[in-house]
Structure 1
Amino acid sequence: MTRAVRFDQYGDVDVLRIEDVERPRPAADQILVEVVAAGINPGEMAIRSGLLHDRWPATFPSGQGSDFAGRVVEVGASVTEFGIDDEVLGWSDWRSSHADYVLVPADHLTRKPLALDWIRAGGLFVAGVTAYASVRAVQPVAGEVVVVSGAAGGVGSLTVQLARNTGATVIGIASESNAAWLRSVGVIPVAYGDDLAERLRKVVPSGIDAFMDTYGGGYVDLAVELGVDPARINTVADYAAAQKAGAKMEGSSTASDAEILAFLAEEVAWGRVVMPVAAVYPLEAVREAYAELAPRHTRGKIVLSTELPSNAGRLPAA
């Protein structure tokens, strides 16, 4: 028997449990991966709480998790792309990566670069491809000014750097405590809070060319107020505001591609993009991990590790 996170009803973190399940067996076109690390994401909280029932209803008992990295332990009869012991990272479309083993088709995997550590590999997929889609949606170029809300979060911290790498000037909206980190990756920090529109105008009196909202809570409306063309506003969090304004809503579903993930893995592996990790928890501490994520004030990703002992507790940021 192996471990997997399960829940039987919508609710807070207390509905989560670790359950003993049979080790999965791959169909002909599937690959079984022994999970080393798996990221957690705000979208999973929303699904578990029932907020996204109309869009992505859960079937109970439900598993959880998309991101993961690990080692191939079994391949289906028709699989030729990967072999036993290959080190990989990828994603599950079936809410199943928070477990010791995960089954996926071959096109949901890419090889882990040797220079990429397990923790960042395991937490990369959702935040990485969402950031990639956000930047692609607004297409910044050298000489332009772009703004990113939630600029130090799991998605935002990668979005600002991918945008910076286009040559654009990037302004990151985040808390004062994240200002130094944003400067360290070449981003101009602006604190969220009162009079934000006025303060942004002072920073860039010539205007803003594009706006990427990774947080929600009124930032699409702010971008419109600042005169940004709705065709160059993208949100991954406030779909109602985007529909009203005519803004874009491109996120992980538009960039869930193994080649894109491979590109991102190389960017992080070789330091062209820095991926902050807020904390690492053992799988058994999944409730504590989501409790830390819930306020959405972490810098970077929180990741679960199946290789940590159950009593390891929280490992700090790295």
Structure 2
Amino acid sequence: MSDSSAEIARLSFISRVLFASGGLPILIFGTIGNFINLFAFICFSQFNKLPISIFLIASFIFSQFTLTFSLIPQLIYRISGYDPLSGSIFLCKLRYYFGLSSGTIALNSIGLAGLSQYLLTSRIVRLRHLITRKLTLLVAFSMILFFGLLFSPVLFFYTHTTNSANVTICTTTNADFTAYNGLIVYSSIPVIVLVVSSVLTWHNARSRLVQGGNLQQNLARMLIIQFIVVLLTTVPNLFNQIYALSTRTVPKNAIRQAQENLLSSILGVLSFSTFGASFYIYIFASKAFRNNIRSLFHIHNRRVQPENEMARLDQG
């Protein structure tokens, strides 16, 4: 084996190990967290009465869809070497459709929750009254329908083809649609929405910090954590997509491709952590949320439900 072949094999092995060792815990703990979040925000009255909880519930559901349809097939391939997408054209289509649409819906749901929180904390009464359960239900349903239809061509574009090694692979027949839709709709728009909502809500919270209330201080901490998570998990992948799109016509040798695959694996793990981190962010940032989760598991016989404490969860 030549030195270059050995280096390519080494990089490929590192890529598989890193993705599997990072992706598997995200799948396990992210799934647990998403289901606990769903139960809490559906069953606990102090959560489900909040209009913003509709956006958060949507984010939990579609985050789990992303982990299930997008992360699991990749883990199977990285761990076993068998690509399940090549064995089923149905799974091939669903993996990319739900991978793109569910991830987009989940990220935008979090962003909309943040924008709604900004309106709820506005000093303008008319803006606060805009956020009702009826309106949030309508907006959430419209968003799901819009992105579901927007990515529906993926179901037709992704299919089975045979590569030069006579191996069946799952690939797209319209690379431009997938690349630009993924870059603009899946990555860029959610980042913009999340950043804007974080900055606006932070501005509202900061304007009230002079009063010294615990709510304002805790709200600011929640927003800082959310903003850091967005930066660490979403923005690097966005730049990687821009790089991949801008260099896809550039000739690359096998070593460079292996290096880029390794980087993509690392950023892919970071990106997937977005869809499994919300429960742990809430646990870390909110004592009230921790107390309610303890009551869920009968560690305490009472639930702590101060209204103001719960309100600050909405930008999670």
Give your verdict on TM over 0.5.
Answer: no
TM-score normalized by the length of structure 2: 0.22
| Structure with the largest fraction of strand | 1
TM-score normalized by the length of structure 1: 0.22
| Structure with the largest fraction of helix | 2
Relative contact order (C-alpha < 8 Å, sep 6+): which is higher?
2
Q: Which has the larger radius of gyration?
A: 2
